[in-house]
Structure 1
Amino acid sequence: MNGGAKLEFIRGITWGWVGIRGTWMTDEAKRSLIKLKETGANWVTLAFQALQDTPQSVEVNYWDEPVVTDEEVSFAIEYAHHLGLKVCLKPVVNCRNGTWRAHISFFDHDVPGEPTWSEWFQSYGTFIIHYAELAERLGCEMFCVGCEMVQADKRELEWRTLIGQVREVYHGTLTYNCDKYQEEYVRWWDAVDMVSSSGYYPVSSFPERVKELRTFAQQVNKPFFFMEVGCMNVEGAAERPNDWSHKGALSMQEQVMFYERLFSLLDNEPWFYGYMLWDWPATLYADDEAAYNRNYWFYHKPAEHVIRRYYARPQFRNV
């Protein structure tokens, strides 16, 4: 990235998760992207999953259902570009048995007869490079090489090798999406162009975490943004924004408060380069259903108005 250039602040939204086959190449998907653009977003992250059976499986399957097809991914990229949105392609691995991908892990050293990091990275690398080639072919402005792989983060050599392989086939901006509280522990940030993380921090501790992230960003000397951040409209969710299973009474104000606080705390931080807010569905619910929807989606909810006001402000950062 050119140190003398200006990077437009990332006013992004994550779209389409988890990427269920049959949902990305429809009139409903096109309408969803149009509505996303109307929020004032200038970026969209197209996020979808591949699957491995368990945290100790070594095959990442990105070709069978329910994974979206290459045709569907291409359709979404091309239509987002048609609307004038910049695109980050974000392929993510999940475990079919429901275990969070942060727990994918193997012995530190390969042991005969046991699943190994080397086997897993070979399969994961094939998966990532497949989509990096697609991202290059269709002109995606950014590519994310991984998401919240807390145990895998420690495998510095393997990540550096994979990122080098990705750079051979993809020539746009590269990032990695680490999990919350893990920013300071990744030792290979110099290998990517932008640092990103999942900013699901409790609203009460956010001011202190912003101070810590400011120090981190100055030390790593890379543009930093939140590849994921959001809150459900459920009472108490702002204190547990990462917990999608959190129980509580329906509260539109909870989501509003979270976004107002988030934007106000980061508004004047020159090291911070923006958001890919979580999230926006490929198929929108009916407008009258928004008042009863409890999850992270903010379409047609009061929080969308907060986001629209913030995204309407032109912002730039020197890179």
Structure 2
Amino acid sequence: MRADALRRTVAAAAVAVLLAAGGCTTGGAAKDTDGTSGADRAGARSGTMRGITLPSWYRTDYDSPAADRYLRGIRATGARWVTFTPTWYQNRVTDTSPHTTEETASDTSLRHIVGRAHGLGLKVMIKPHIDLPGDEDRADIRPRDRAAWFTSYRRFITHYADLAADTRTEQFTVGTELAGVSGDTAAWAGVVRAVRDHYDGPLTYAANYDEYRKIHFWKDLDLIGIDAYWPLSARPTDDPARLRRAWRPIRDELAAYARGQNRRILFTEAGYVSQRGATTAPYSWTVSRRPAPAEQAAAYRALLDSFTGRRWWAGVCWWMWDDWPDSGETPVKLAYTPRGKPAERVLREKWGAS
């Protein structure tokens, strides 16, 4: 057996162990057409990721005195996973080399918070990001020299793969929403091979909801990752039933795709601001200036009602728990965080928090 095939086998075994412990795994082929038996659903329900992202915006965020409080708050929702997002930046979409800045979480702080999370009984996914200045979209990255960019990217991503291995991080993401380069299948296969040389755990890629069908290297990964920001309504609504109806055709499409790829689907991100109209554009931080916590809560409920228990669905990591003190540009009452809002009560109910 080739070394990379052996690593895939080891990763698949690790995935199975995580599922048995309430983690997130591929679980082999998705054999149902979308429904499953009651027994299958009961088993799947306990084997999906219940996660929340805690992003960083500055090098010392993960060292913040607020870190323990945030992690305890995440665990109190019934979450069993937390995702961390160290971020490098490039100045222009055509640049060939991302780099650290003062907004990049330090390695020391990342190691520290992974240890804190493990100490609280939370599993960890590390999901490194590449970003651009201001409001520019990372999906627009199209380097002028792609070979040079991928060389730099492998250096970036294997750095974090080493850190994930050293900290016994349970799962790793090899890229996030890089639609401008994610069509370079051979280059990404090389990225995945490089990561597997450094890290033995389960791997995914976080494709945007309008990108995942354009990815042709899922076979090299253990999970299909989707950032699930599908618009669900043409106008604001806080009716969960209406939102569940909107999810049905998307769910059917995803079930078929999971079967075709022989992989389970993880929502590597999903989230809604607590603003009126959040369900019309879940990817937007600035839908309106009118608070709408009921609309946010309805969206949380509809997603969990629609997907929980589907054998092919590997769970969700919500975006996001909170901004760090004094760092948030969006007022808490309008932000993605569910903390202290009706959406948090939905999580506690659905995830069985004590």
**Fold equivalence (TM over 0.5):** yes
**1:4/1:134 Cα in 2 relative to 1: closer, same or farther (>3 Å)?**
closer
Trace 1:25-40 onto structure 2 (pairs within 5 A).
Answer: 25-40=63-78
Match of 1:45 in 2: 83
2: CA distance, partners of 1:126 / 1:40: 36
Residues 226 and 276, structure 1, Cα contact 8 Å, conserved in 2: yes
Aligned match for 2:53, one of 8, 11, 14? 14
2:124 matches 1:87: yes
Deviation at 1:66, TM superposition (A): 2.0
1: CA distance, partners of 2:84 / 2:110: 8
Residues 19 and 47, structure 1, Cα contact 8 Å, conserved in 2: no
Trace 1:130-169 onto structure 2 (pairs within 5 A).
Answer: 130-169=159-198
**1:258/1:122 Cα in 2 relative to 1: closer, same or farther (>3 Å)?**
same
**1:248/1:206 Cα in 2 relative to 1: closer, same or farther (>3 Å)?**
farther
2: CA distance, partners of 1:77 / 1:141: 10
Root-mean-square deviation (CA, aligned residues, Å) is: 2.0
Deviation at 1:283, TM superposition (A): 3.0
Match of 2:349 in 1: 309
Paired residues in the alignment total 300
Deviation at 1:98, TM superposition (A): 3.4
Trace 1:260-271 onto structure 2 (pairs within 5 A).
Answer: 260-271=301-312
1:293 aligned counterpart, secondary structure: helix
Match of 1:317 in 2: none
> Structure 2: which amino acid aligns with 1:40?
G
Residues 274 and 295, structure 2, Cα contact 8 Å, conserved in 1: yes
Residues 44 and 87, structure 1, Cα contact 8 Å, conserved in 2: yes
**1:100/1:166 Cα in 2 relative to 1: closer, same or farther (>3 Å)?**
same
* Alpha-carbon displacement from aligned partner over 1:281-307 (angstroms, at most 9, x marks no partner): 26369xxxx996101011111110001
Deviation at 1:245, TM superposition (A): 2.2
Residues 322 and 336, structure 2, Cα contact 8 Å, conserved in 1: no
Match of 1:294 in 2: 334
Deviation at 1:272, TM superposition (A): 0.6
> Structure 2: which amino acid aligns with 1:300?
G
1: CA distance, partners of 2:343 / 2:351: 12
Deviation at 1:102, TM superposition (A): 0.4
Residues 55 and 95, structure 1, Cα contact 8 Å, conserved in 2: yes
1: CA distance, partners of 2:18 / 2:126: 22
Match of 2:115 in 1: 78
Residues 10 and 273, structure 1, Cα contact 8 Å, conserved in 2: yes
Residues 14 and 46, structure 1, Cα contact 8 Å, conserved in 2: yes
1: CA distance, partners of 2:160 / 2:314: 25
2:95 matches 1:66: no
Unaligned residue ranges in structure 2 (runs of 5+): 1-11, 20-46, 234-245
Match of 1:99 in 2: 136
Unaligned residue ranges in structure 1 (runs of 5+): 107-114, 314-319
2: CA distance, partners of 1:127 / 1:6: 26
Residues 180 and 201, structure 1, Cα contact 8 Å, conserved in 2: yes
Residues 189 and 217, structure 2, Cα contact 8 Å, conserved in 1: yes
Deviates more, 1:124-133 or 1:265-274: 265-274
Residues 24 and 282, structure 1, Cα contact 8 Å, conserved in 2: no
2: CA distance, partners of 1:116 / 1:163: 20
2: CA distance, partners of 1:49 / 1:299: 23
> Structure 1: which amino acid aligns with 2:163?
L
Residues 80 and 121, structure 2, Cα contact 8 Å, conserved in 1: yes
2: CA distance, partners of 1:4 / 1:179: 26
2:178 aligned counterpart, secondary structure: coil
1: CA distance, partners of 2:331 / 2:92: 36
